[in-house]
Structure 1
Amino acid sequence: MSNPNFADKSGQAVPQVTFATRANDEWVNRTTDELFKGKTVVVFSLPGAFTPTCSSTHLPRYNELAKTFKANGVDDIICMSVNDTFVMNAWAEDQESDNVTLIPDGNGEFTDGMGLLVDKADLGFGKRSWRYSMLVKDGVVDKMFIEPDLPGDPFEVSDADTMLAYVAPDAKPAAATVVLSKPGCPFCAKAKALLTEKGYEFEELVMGKEVSFTSLKALSGNESWPQVFIGGKLIGGSDDLESYFA
């Protein structure tokens, strides 16, 4: 792999590029100014859609922390990759990415302008982006986190948590919260209302759709609905949740 010098472009304007995207089965051109002008934007760029680290960690964590970023002054989060718009749109549908804007740098112009277009011909990828993240304010780079120039695909500094620590050092992301529920269950409604009252964002897994009675027992050791998990810890049913908050 032949790598450029990976110069930190803090203080410089981002490249002026027009991105060819598809929306509602139509071609839509999106410009650098449209994406960055007058906004505070986090960008993270990666070697390719559907590739392992990008799909398992990089994109999902930025998506998960998006509301925390926005509560701390970030207007948008952009995921950039040297892929065409059809690939990026398919990846968006395949991932939890509703809180992130996926931009196809199909010709690599933006990435090249950032000095981070690298040759991954050894993997059959051709030219792709080196992995990095940056904070951009009104079109000017405020801070960059560029992965070290090491073999392979290092993933040490461009992650969402590192960026959040820079943007808002005192921010505490909400603990991941899941409710296993059953349709029509009054105790489930009570638990969800309590979580909402306490300001908790939560994911609901509903019996018959995403979770079964067997799954409920296997995960929680209980046979009653709901079962609430916060930060990887089983809290229990609605009464247990009340005690937890008390």
Structure 2
Amino acid sequence: MSRFISKEGQKVPNVIFRTRQNNEWVNVSTDDLFKGKTVIVFSLPGAFTPTCSSAHLPRYNELAGTFAANGVDSIVCMSVNDTFVMNAWGEDQEANNVTLIPDGNGEFSEGMGMLVDKSDLGFGMRSWRYSMLVKDGTIEKMFIEPDVAGDPFEVSDADTMLKYINSEAQAPKAATIFTKPGCPFCAKAKENLTKAGIHYEEITISNADVTSRTLRAIANANTVPQIFIEGQYIGGSDDLEKFLAK
């Protein structure tokens, strides 16, 4: 039997969070976060930890626009860390669309019944991994990770939450495009991606960091642009046009 009990239908804990904003201490209350709003909360064991950084936070950030289109006002990431750690993590990560809240004393996590002892890892008391949909301070739905050893990540992910909110919602496609400055074919490819509604990250080939050798290793190509969509290798500008025409 799981030690974690769903609190669906209940109010979120009434907590004051101590945050650091613009080099000043700012108290953020539960009402500030939830009153009159539809909010997604996902809570995790710690900033800078592998699963949290590689998958949990980035995907919620990536789907923020889709959540907003489906009635979500904000997305909150909660962790039992201090505000300095959470701020540094936010700067290091893809978190522009997510509000990072430090549950430094573990009061919110304890009130949710999600505070766990991770002393075996040297972490002390931390939050179990879960997500929830909160409407005007009342918990509508919770996705709690199974009570097993380790750090399971099966149900609190962004895609599961999106499917619950709207099973018909389509996550936007994401692309990566390798370019060089002044390349007209690169400009054309980026324009076509934008017209197709495909968000993209641009990686510029230069003498520093990502070089032509890197591009050959990844795409087995010497020319730019080189485009990947959702992990699928598309090719150059003409290949992109053929792909989009389908």
The TM tier, using the shorter chain, reads over 0.9
Using the alignment, how far apart are the partners of 2:152 and 2:66 within structure 1?
Answer: 25
Amino acid at match of 1:176: A
Q: Which residue of 2 aligns with 1:231?
A: 230
- 5+ unaligned residues in a row in structure 1: which ranges? none
Does structure 1 conserve the Cα–Cα contact (< 8 Å) formed by 2:2 and 2:147?
no
Offset, 1:146: 0.8
Does structure 2 conserve the Cα–Cα contact (< 8 Å) formed by 1:4 and 1:116?
no
Offset, 1:4: 8.3
Offset, 1:211: 2.4
**TM-score, normalised relative to structure 2:** 0.94
Amino acid at match of 1:98: N
Does structure 2 conserve the Cα–Cα contact (< 8 Å) formed by 1:4 and 1:118?
no
Using the alignment, how far apart are the partners of 1:74 and 1:63 within structure 2?
Answer: 13
Using the alignment, how far apart are the partners of 1:121 and 1:234 within structure 2?
Answer: 44
Using the alignment, how far apart are the partners of 2:26 and 2:89 within structure 1?
Answer: 18
Correspondences of 1:17-96 after superposition (within 5 Å): 17-96=15-94
Using the alignment, how far apart are the partners of 2:209 and 2:159 within structure 1?
Answer: 28
Does structure 2 conserve the Cα–Cα contact (< 8 Å) formed by 1:177 and 1:201?
yes
Q: Which residue of 2 aligns with 1:213?
A: 212
Count of paired positions: 244
Amino acid at match of 1:196: T
Does structure 1 conserve the Cα–Cα contact (< 8 Å) formed by 2:179 and 2:224?
yes
SS at the partner of 2:60?
A: helix
Offset, 1:151: 1.9
Amino acid at match of 1:17: V
Q: 1:169 to 1:210 in 2, by over 3 A?
A: farther
Correspondences of 1:39-188 after superposition (within 5 Å): 39-188=37-186
Offset, 1:9: 0.8
SS at the partner of 1:12?
A: coil
SS at the partner of 2:96?
A: coil
SS at the partner of 1:202?
A: strand
**TM-score, normalised relative to structure 1:** 0.94
CA-based RMSD = 1.6
Using the alignment, how far apart are the partners of 2:209 and 2:197 within structure 1?
Answer: 24
Offset, 1:47: 0.9
- 5+ unaligned residues in a row in structure 2: which ranges? none
Does structure 2 conserve the Cα–Cα contact (< 8 Å) formed by 1:180 and 1:211?
no
